[in-house]
Structure 1
């Protein structure tokens, strides 16, 4: 095994950029299917409902318009959840979904067109293409910025600088992010390889980093709602149809010289076998971070 080489976070997150949904290796990933599969997990369904509650739309004055930005809005499902909550509460809400991937933008627009009749006339939803790190919104525009599993894919300090800029004073960031994840298996060779070549996770993940970084960037940390969950090998297999993601990782490992072709194929074979025989467990903590922009 090549010493002192491992994948970087950007090797795994570049797929979300508007590059035909391809992994660095050239394998094409069905992002729509991937996100729909993720939504089937009860942990994610429950977390999305908790985000809606933490937004506290009921506490806004009925006479004013609530301006909300959802960065990395993906399939647009969360836009509709917020719109439905605003409709239920009789609130006037303007929601913008920001997304950089054109495939997901079209999916989100189609969902909105198919379901907009369920929303009140006081709910406005707009889906636009843009870069989280260079947002084309005026300073102090939004009451709430939402981010669901988006900040882990970008330069975190730069993203927070932009989020702070577009938030009003006392406006809130509500971020759903993972932290402190790991996998376990009796296949010690596979685990050793996994720990050696994948990005260093000693910072605890995006959610943990946020809790240290936000106060330094003039945010008041108001809450950290955490839920731990366990996923079986069979569930992990269901999340990666035809093993496209893992095949892509295997090819990247070879291309970057992190592993030899033989080592990478052995790692892939062991991982798939562990999942298919349920000899692997994934653990994670899902956090909902609430923070307010200070003066």
Structure 2
């Protein structure tokens, strides 16, 4: 039996690559707005605070320069959170933010320039554009590599190989990544469409895959730190201004021959109505994985 066509993970990941956020119709996803809206969620604020605690900067010796790499640094908000924590603790840190998207790099640099006067001279930040899968850093450079919702967008095995290469022995990977998730609604037609067009999610998501892959690649997992996310229809609506992401998904579904134009429009209409009436819930588990490079 031939399986019906589905979207691939690459269809979602490509939008983060440089200048790939404009579809064939001219529809543009505002990546900056998308990330800023995401940051308004209390769940995300709490998760980011937990990441800072799990980094355990207070356990480093005050005489040591802590070298930190943030892959997929986005708008630079997390860079500044780490810098502020190091500043508070009086630590000497060198933080590099790496992203492949030039828009993200520009925004991160703007944020840093606006806040750098609040940081001590012991906190050094550099923001550069680069490929996570081919990083231009020497072997065993960093004490900590951070990844916040980044590894799901790249070849996971290749990324781990590169992360391992640039980490010092006993250096740590702190990865905030998604596990299994789904949406639920009494609109059975909409849910059936949703389930049949998206990539198959039986692998449990990036966070689950990491927990199987890392030990095989000489990492010792110290903690997985799961966090449950429940998002209402009203919240989901707030994350997609003018329904640009939904329209983009609908357009890709038609372009790839997965749905007809009529089916795509019906799916979008049902999804929007479910959000407006709060008849939909997004549920997922986010994991903060702490892993140590053994050798």
TM-score past 0.5 threshold: yes
Question: Where do 1:83-94 residues align within 5 Å?
Answer: 83-94=83-94
Structure 1: 5+ residue runs without aligned partners? none
Offset, 1:26: 4.2
The 8 Å contact of residues 11 and 24 in structure 1, kept in 2 or not, is answered as: no
Residue aligning to 1:60? 60
Offset, 1:233: 0.5
The 8 Å contact of residues 38 and 239 in structure 2, kept in 1 or not, is answered as: yes
Residue aligning to 1:203? 203
Structure 2 counterpart SS, 1:120? coil
2:186 aligned with 1:174 = no
Offset, 1:206: 0.8
Residue aligning to 1:101? 101
The 8 Å contact of residues 14 and 20 in structure 2, kept in 1 or not, is answered as: no
2:229 aligned with 1:226 = no
Structure 2 counterpart SS, 1:15? helix
Residue aligning to 1:253? 253
The 8 Å contact of residues 99 and 130 in structure 2, kept in 1 or not, is answered as: yes
2:264 aligned with 1:264 = yes
The 8 Å contact of residues 174 and 290 in structure 2, kept in 1 or not, is answered as: yes
Structure 2 counterpart SS, 1:80? helix
The 8 Å contact of residues 93 and 123 in structure 1, kept in 2 or not, is answered as: yes
2:278 aligned with 1:292 = no
Structure 1 counterpart SS, 2:159? helix
Offset, 1:244: 0.5
Offset, 1:232: 0.5
Structure 2 counterpart SS, 1:174? strand
The 8 Å contact of residues 24 and 248 in structure 1, kept in 2 or not, is answered as: no
Offset, 1:24: 6.4
Aligned residue-pair number: 294
Residue aligning to 1:149? 149
Instruction: Name the CA distance, whole Å, in 1 between partners of 2:91 and 2:23.
Output: 41
Instruction: Name the CA distance, whole Å, in 2 between partners of 1:117 and 1:168.
Output: 30
Offset, 1:197: 0.5
Offset, 1:21: 2.6
The 8 Å contact of residues 24 and 252 in structure 1, kept in 2 or not, is answered as: no
The 8 Å contact of residues 233 and 274 in structure 1, kept in 2 or not, is answered as: yes
Find runs of 4+ consecutive structure 1 residues off by over 4 angstroms. Answer: 23-26
Offset, 1:268: 1.0
The 8 Å contact of residues 21 and 28 in structure 1, kept in 2 or not, is answered as: yes
2:139 aligned with 1:113 = no
Structure 2 counterpart SS, 1:135? coil
Offset, 1:19: 1.3
The 8 Å contact of residues 14 and 24 in structure 1, kept in 2 or not, is answered as: no
Offset, 1:23: 4.2
2:46 aligned with 1:46 = yes
Structure 2: 5+ residue runs without aligned partners? none
